[in-house]
Amino acid sequence: MPLIDSHAHLTFPELQKNLESVLARSRDTGVTGWITVGTDTDNNLKAISLANKYDDIWATVGFHPHYAKDVSEKDIDIMASQLTNSKVVAVGEIGLDYHYNHSSIQDQHRIFKAQLDIAVKSNKAVIVHSREAFDDTIEILDEYKDKLSHIVIHCFSGNPEQAKLVIDKGYYISFTGVVTFKNAQLARDAAAVVPIDRLMVETDCPYMSPAPMRKQKINEPSLMIHTAQKLAQIHNVSLDEFSDIVEKTTREFFSI
């Protein structure tokens, strides 16, 4: 029952300080591959270093919308050069976040588009962060949909109609442990309309531990099994069948 955590932050201190134990527990549950995601200059470098150290860890590089105001042209150029590393499999996470607005909407749009331009030039997959910004996210992605074949909306928080729109546009959707939360029926309804072969599973660790492990404050890849079980149940398939399909999708999406 192989699974790949399609979006983890293994470079964050909560996980990095005990990484060998984290990975060992993950392997014990069948989660044997990890995409560690960059968010800023420091974490991009750390993600690459980690991926170069382990056969089954891959990295992405990108600038989270929170940091858009601080991203320079030089930063974008450095990120572009990092994409030549064979263990760097995507641009991300990038996108829009209107919940906190740590950066202005104007800056977020500018940096989002600059990174999408780099993804086109490098022919890399794209991991998109979108929080309370669905319409603007889709509008910007529509400018690139004929140039980019592999786009995933990670940690999907939309409704079934929005999920169907994303799928109809040819994009992918990734779900976190939110689908296991007692009060998250909307997330489960959204997951139900996403074909299994267009779906991926992630922890977004160290955040959002799934039920029944909600009291475990630091989420980690070993807990993704609970999310996979819930999604398999939603799609009325066995966990083994679900895992086989989703692992294949994840490998094809990231070309790993």
pLDDT in tens, 182-204: 999 999 999 999 999 999 999 99
Cα(94)–Cα(131) distance, integer angstroms: 11
CA-to-CA separations, 27 to 22, 30, 56, 202, 208, in angstroms, rounded: 9, 5, 11, 15, 20
pLDDT at 50: 98
Burial (CB < 10 A; 0-12, 13-18, 19+), residue 223, is buried
Answer yes or no: are the C-beta atoms of 143 and 120 closer than 8 Å: no
CATH of the structural domain 3-254, one choice from 3.20.20.140, 3.40.50.620, 3.40.50.1100, 3.90.950.10: 3.20.20.140
Instruction: Return the pLDDT at 149.
Output: 80
Kindly give the residue spans of alpha helices, DSSP state H, lying in the chain. Answer: 13-16, 19-29, 41-53, 73-82, 105-122, 134-142, 160-168, 185-192, 224-234, 239-254
Q: Where are the domains of the chain?
A: 3-254
* pLDDT attached to residue 12: 97
Determine if the pTM surpasses 0.85.
yes
- Integer Cα distance of 26 and 32 in angstroms: 7
Which residues of the chain fall below pLDDT 50?
Answer: none
* Distance (Å) of CA 250 to CA 74, 97, 106: 31, 25, 32
SS3 content of the chain, % helix, strand, coil (to 5): 50, 15, 35
CA 155-200-169 angle, to 5 degrees, is: 80
Give the model confidence (pLDDT) of 156-179 as tens digits.
999 999 999 999 999 999 999 999
